[in-house]
Chain A
Amino acid sequence: MDDQKEKRGGTPDPNAEPESAPEAGQKAESDDEQSLHDELEDLARVFQEELDRAKAQAEEDANRTDDAPGILIQSLDDLPEVQREADAEAEPKNDTEETLCECCGERPSGTQKDPDSPYCTVCDEGLRHYPFDFLNVLLALVLLVFVFYGGYQFADHTEVFVRAAQADSLAADNELYSALDAYTQAEEAMSSDRINGELVYKRAALTMYKLGYMSNVVELGDAVHSWELQLPHFRSMKTALDRAEQFLATGDAATEILSPYMSMSAQEIPYDDVLAQLEALKTADPEETTAAAEDTTNEAETTTEPADMDTYTPQYTGYNTAMVTFYQYYLALISDQPLETQIGFVEEMQSLEPEETWMYATLLGELYAKTGRDIEPICTKMLEVNAEDDTPALLRVIALRTAGDYDAAISQSEAQIEASNEYAAELYRQIGLCYLLQGDYETAYEKVNEGFQTTNPSIQLVNTLALCASAAGEEDAYAEAADLLTSSGYAVSEEVLEYRAGTRTIESIFTEGDLDVT
């Protein structure tokens, strides 16, 4: 159009020849009108051509859309050449980046399912099945094998765990004897499976400590490394070990003082002197005593074992005062001191070590029962510590017997024997004593003899049997009981001998002195 404009009008040609003025003026007017007319015609023709082309293009586009109605976005290849060229001229670079796959950068983005997807069909399919790295698969397999091995290990430890859990549950319910049995089973299982369960040993040691089995507590100290005992989770075991060793050392020191007087009669024992020696023990230094003892031992030994550096050496300062008091009570007992003196020592033990019921509770209960005091508080405390302790039941029977309520004592004893009380033999003895005090000597002898048959008899039971046999006129039985005592290195008790000599009655035996056959 511009070319035509230049040719047919517009700027005059500076190189054209000049004409005359009037002719030139008319001719110029005529040329201008013609030029304008031609230009308008050209414009009309150009517009018409453009309009026709646009209509044709619109029809063509409409036909294409009708042919493929499901395709919302055309691919680059489908675009008409003209349109592509026009678009390329307008925004050539940006358009290419938007439509290519973000993953491969080669194929056009969008899939049939998701046309807006930034990925091409191939990459989309690939990313939906994203490959596993070989190393990752290997690691995952290793971990899964580890899980299965863990399961195997768990199965291997199940028995130990079950026994330990049972023991812990019983200990939590204060059923200490059953707990101890379960701990023993757990220890056996650990030993057979070569498992070193240190926390099981710790809990077993604490249970044994509650029951007063101090030697066993010290033995369990070897199961744990000495440095571990300094750690917080073994602190309670360390305390138990230290105290157990202190009790044992005190016991050894006190026994050393008492041993010369054990076989003496009550009258021969220098009570005050021995009591003073024991009293001095309360402030003595155990290291000096131990060193002196070790010196004597070393003299006798020719070789010594090298010390195990990993074994814990319990630490304590001084002997245990309550334990020394226990031996003072024992001295009072063998010296036939009054019951009130004995009670004084046991009550002192209670005040010094109120938590150590294993040390004083049974003694205090028996002394209270004999002297007609209320035994229920001490029985309750014993059952709180160990619900399986049969001692309170026995103490109640003794209390009933000493109070003169023989029928109740007999019925309670029989009920306890029926319930498998561990002190069945002693309960039979108590029944026998009730019948003896009621004057039924034959039944008394039968009951005590029944107790004698049930278990390994105590010295007191054999002496009671001898007394009942004497009272019932069973001389053969008496001779048998006396033989048993003498063959075991014991003598028949003074009460029995005095009764047989006629210097003492049955009533006096159970109402004076120790209130029982010793």
Chain B
Amino acid sequence: MRIVYLIVKYLTLPGTFLQAFFEHLTCRVYEVLVEDGRYLRANEMCGHIQHELVRKRSTSFGICFFPFLFNLIAGLMLTAVGAVNVLYLGEFFTSGGSVHILNFLFLWVGISCLTNLFPQTEDALTFKELLYGKGKSNLFVKIIAAPVFAVLYVGSYLQKWGATLLTSAAFAYALPYILGTFLPQLYEAVQ
């Protein structure tokens, strides 16, 4: 499984790098002790920062959520333009006849970012313990945080098995059709 994980991580290098960078940034903001700051190690920590065990709930949430959010924004933007241009419009070539490398690059980096959204399993488990552990938080917080936690928790396991590459590729294929359900109306309204 580890080899699959590593293959996916290196195939989606821009997203792997960006996730580790955002994780590093979040650790700095929360003043979490970073034990190893290398981004692309050839082990299960590839694309993640090795940091101390977090004991605060808000810090654990931040470490799990903010790299996810930043990569999601970057991934959505790039996947949207890449998927629309390549998969929907079919702009494979420039008007000059050469291969439109930029469009394929948008698609690759976009899918890469979406593949590397989720936190490390250990971080997700820590967050789970701090959020849903005995007497850790009140019912309101548990309910409010449940959707985000569910996404992060399930995603971390999918990412561990490299399955997020498939989900992000499928999402990239579907994205133009999702955009097509509301963007034309929005465009007409703005025009």
Contacts and interface: CB of A to CB of B under 8 A. Distances in A.
Contacts of B32: 128
B81 A153 contact: yes
B94 interface: yes
A140 B14 CA distance: 9
Contact of A157 (B39, B84, B87, B180): B84
Nearest to B187: A162
A284 interface: no
B85 A157 contact: yes
Say whether chain A's binding surface is mostly helix, strand, loop, or mixed: helix
A132 interface: yes
Nearest to A131: B37
A335 interface: no
A165 B180 contact: yes
A196 interface: yes
B35 A196 contact: no
Interface string B166-183: 000000000010011001
Nearest to B22: A140
A161 B31 contact: no
Contact of B95 (A130, A131, A196): A196
B146 interface: no
Contact of B89 (A147, A150, A161): A161
Interface in A135-155: 136, 139-140, 143-144, 146-147, 150-151, 153-154
Say whether chain B's binding surface is mostly helix, strand, loop, or mixed: helix
B80 interface: yes
A157 B83 CA distance: 12
A198 B78 contact: no
Contacts of B74: 143-144, 147
Interface centre among A139, A144, A168, A196 (most CB of B within 10 A): A196
Interface in B58-114: 73-74, 77-78, 80-82, 84-85, 87-95, 102, 106, 109-110
Contacts of A201: 90
B90 A143 contact: no
Interface centre among A150, A194, A201 (most CB of B within 10 A): A150
A133 B18 CA distance: 13
Given A160-B89, A164-B88, A199-B90, A129 B31 contact: yes
A120 to B, nearest CB: 12
B34 interface: yes
Contact of B78 (A127, A147, A164, A194): A147
Contacts of A161: 84, 88-89, 176, 179-180, 183
Interface centre among A143, A151, A195, A201 (most CB of B within 10 A): A143
Given A161-B176, A199-B90, A127 B33 contact: yes
A197 interface: yes
B183 A158 contact: yes
Contacts of A228: 92
A202 B92 CA distance: 13
B91 A195 contact: yes
Contact of B110 (A124, A150, A195): A150
Contacts of B110: 150
Interface centre among A139, A165, A228 (most CB of B within 10 A): A165
Nearest to B190: A158
B183 A146 contact: no
Nearest to A203: B90
A162 B91 CA distance: 15
A131 to B, nearest CB: 8
A493 interface: no
B90 A198 contact: yes
A199 B84 CA distance: 11
B189 to A, nearest CB: 11
Given A153-B85, A161-B179, A199-B89, A136 B33 contact: no
Nearest to B15: A143
A368 interface: no
A151 B32 CA distance: 33
B28 interface: yes
A198 B93 CA distance: 9
A360 interface: no
B117 to A, nearest CB: 15
B59 to A, nearest CB: 12
A177 to B, nearest CB: 18
Given A165-B180, A166-B184, A194-B95, A128 B80 contact: no
A151 B21 CA distance: 21
A36 B94 CA distance: 113
A158 B187 contact: yes
Contacts of B95: 194-196
B33 to A, nearest CB: 5
Contacts of A200: 89-90
B39 to A, nearest CB: 7
Nearest to A193: B95
B153 interface: no
Interface string A194-237: 11111111100000000000000000000001001000000000
Contact of B14 (A143, A164, A168, A169): A143
A124 to B, nearest CB: 6
B27 interface: yes
Contact of B91 (A130, A146, A150, A197): A197
A128 B88 CA distance: 46
A190 B89 CA distance: 10
A119 interface: yes
19 contacts: A128-B34, A130-B34, A139-B17, A143-B17, A147-B78, A151-B81, A154-B80, A154-B81, A158-B183, A161-B84, A161-B183, A165-B179, A169-B184, A194-B95, A195-B95, A196-B91, A196-B94, A198-B91, A202-B90
Interface pairs A-B: 3 shortest CB-CB: A199-B90, A197-B89, A130-B34
Given A140-B18, A161-B183, A195-B89, 6 more contacts: A128-B28, A128-B32, A128-B33, A147-B74, A199-B87, A228-B92
